[in-house]
Amino acid sequence: MAQAVLFGGPGGQVSTLDVQADAATRISDLARSTVLSRPANVEQLASNLYAQRMMAGLAQAKGLASSPEARAQLQLAREKALADLYWADFDVSHQPSDEALEAYAQSTYRTMDEKALQAPARARVRHILVKAATPNARERMNELLTKAKAGSDFAQLARENSEDQGSVGRGGDIGFVAEGDGDPSFARALAVLKNPGDLSDVVETPYGYHIIRLEERRDAGKRPFDEVREGLRMQARGALIKEARAKEVQKLLAGGQANEAAINTFSSQFKPVEPR
């Protein structure tokens, strides 16, 4: 895709590539798409980069980059950027296997504190959401409810019609909801549903219009493994990659050696600040 100029002036230009590179270093993978989907955020990022580029040019013009300390800082900044690229590539090639994730998740579950696994009465639900601002939202939801009651696949109806971006890809599945949690109107409608497959009427909340389908009810008590499995697998992925990174660092350090005398001499130049 061609790179567009997002911000420009006498100090140069900031492109989409610049913003993407900056976002990749400062915003988590999970949040990045959400942040960049908002034009105001993109403008803020681009304007900040432009100001940074202007300051870099002014610093260069003043000769501020010529001191030994400045050159060391610039070299370290370059090395840090390259190291970040190395880790990104490393993580891709060291993704844990499905078997490793499952084994970690099950091991973690077996050793978890019983109190941490206690849960209130809860229900697993699917829903279809159409925002109130959508044209003919109520009429559209009534039509969808008629189709659902007639036996149409609810998950497919959700995939094709729901405006809840968090659950649409899962066929409207929002997981387990604790009894009484969330919007009061939603909670009241859910409380009426008793058996798997039961459908609510069209429910209005501040988010828009919903149709709720009960998938399962569970009593208060210890969460079974399947209820916490995905969260534990996510935890496992992070822990196993962190472990692989630690091993890689140890391998890289194996060829080096600390100069203890120089370290002690350097540290002796500084005095600890006593707390007041």
Q: For residues 35 and 23, give the distance between their C-alpha atoms in angstroms, rounded to a whole number.
A: 9
Is 184 part of any domain? yes
Residue 130 sits in the same domain as residue 58: no
List residues bridging with 129 in a β-sheet: 210
Q: Is residue 1's pLDDT more than 60? A: no
Q: Is residue 183's pLDDT more than 60? A: yes
Domain end (from 219, 239, 254): 219
Q: Helix or strand or coil: residue 264?
A: helix
Mean pLDDT value of segment 73-91: 95
pLDDT > 70 fraction of the chain, expressed in percent and rounded: 99
For residue range 40-54, list pLDDT tens digits in order: 999 999 999 999 999
Mean pLDDT value of segment 256-261: 95
Is 162 part of any domain? yes
Is 12 part of any domain? yes
Mean pLDDT value of segment 161-171: 94
- Please report the pLDDT score of residue 116 as a whole number: 92
Q: What range does the domain containing 159 cover? A: 121-219
- Count of structural domains within the chain: 2
What is the DSSP-derived secondary structure letter of residue 171?
T
Is 166 part of any domain? yes
Is 71 part of any domain? no
pTM beyond 0.75: the answer is no
Is 233 part of any domain? no
Q: For residues 38 and 33, give the distance between their C-alpha atoms in angstroms, rounded to a whole number.
A: 9
CATH for 141: 3.10.50.40
What is the pLDDT of the chain when averaged over all its residues?
94
Confidence label for 11 from pLDDT (cuts 50, 70 and 90): confident
Q: For residues 211 and 174, give the distance between their C-alpha atoms in angstroms, rounded to a whole number.
A: 13
For residue range 201-240, list pLDDT tens digits in order: 999 999 999 999 999 999 999 999 999 999 999 999 999 9
Domain end (from 219, 234, 268): 219
CB atoms within 10 A of CB 164: 19
Is 236 part of any domain? no
Residue 45 sits in the same domain as residue 135: no
Domain end (from 41, 62, 83): 62
Is 82 part of any domain? no
Which secondary-structure segment (H or E) carries 193? none
Mean pLDDT value of segment 152-170: 95
- Please report the pLDDT score of residue 218 as a whole number: 93
DSSP string for residues in 89-154: HHHHHTPPPHHHHHHHHHHHHHHS-GGGGEE-SEEEEEEEEE-TTSTTHHHHHHHHHHHHHTT--H
Residue 134 sits in the same domain as residue 51: no
